[in-house]
Amino acid sequence: MIGTPARLVLSATLAVTGSGIFLREAPGNSIPVPITLAAAAQARGGTIKDRVRLTGKSPGNAVIRMGVDPMCGRMNAGKQVVNEQVVVSADGGLANAFVRLQGSFPRTTPPTQPVTIDQRACFYLPRVVGTQVGQTLQVRNSDPMLHNVHSLSNGTNGFNVGQPSAGMVYTFQLKQEEVMLRLKCDVHRWMTAYIGVVSHPYFAVSGTGGTFEIANVPVGTYTIQTWHERFGSLTRPVRVTAGATAIVDVPYTGEEKPPPTADARELIVPRSAVSSQ
């Protein structure tokens, strides 16, 4: 005899199949009961999205004196290479901002897929990444020359290794939360990257147009923090509801002070003092 739907619902658990979302049958029952999309959305949480913007004038980027290393100069021949601290789209979208939710969340397993930073043409690419505590950072050397991978950690995420040839890969499991962890090359001091290490999966890095999206956020009210290497940190409140998208606009004026970690000025000179290579 099949139990009543009420008893079945109270003792069932969620299950997702290729054909839909169901409640698993309770002990002693054999018929899974479909649930509504609204209930599924409640289980999933919501989404946070919008863009990081620069409302004021961009301060521009300094030109890098690539000629201090002839091989780096040859790989960038014909280019006026700049230190891309501030990457702004035509409509003001600000790239390379690290966005995360502040607060405590249920413990989740970090992704098994590593986060990769490549050393290519004497630059770290990408410049800003986000990772979860316990996830593996992978730093690859694609240049046929010596690079040094040196993290400036305030905790246990420190390492300092040399990669003298192309194809070398260094891996490191990030041990604790750190916003932000700076990566630099002691051989080519303009080479800089930043790694946001957090204890949960609710983070993103703004793209070329300044846009970002954080999915599957538990329902609740949070503070969202945005970090940029030139303009520092901003915070905004955000309320996440089940199955909905919360829009968060993050405007920088351009008057903000650089954060203490934004020291990547060695061997960099003002644009006005350098002619095109």
- Cα atoms in the Cβ-side hemisphere of radius 13 Å centred on 140: 10
pLDDT of residue 276: 32
Tens of pLDDT, residue by residue over 237-266, are 999 999 999 999 999 999 998 776 544 333
Mark 111-131 as b/e (b = at least 16 C-beta within 10 Å): eeebbebbbebbbbeebbbbb
Least confident of 37-46, 126-135, 195-204, 217-226: 37-46
Length of the chain: 277
pLDDT of residue 261: 55
| DSSP states along 43-64 | HH-EEEEEEEEE-S-----PEE
Provide CB contacts within 8 A for 103, sequence distance 6+: 222, 223
- Cα atoms in the Cβ-side hemisphere of radius 13 Å centred on 164: 0
Tens of pLDDT, residue by residue over 192-212, are 999 999 999 999 999 999 999
pTM for this model (two decimals): 0.79
Cα separation, 22 vs 30, in Å, equals 13
- Band (pLDDT 50/70/90 cuts) for residue 7 is very low
Distances (CA, A) of 86 to 53, 54, 135, 155: 11, 10, 28, 27
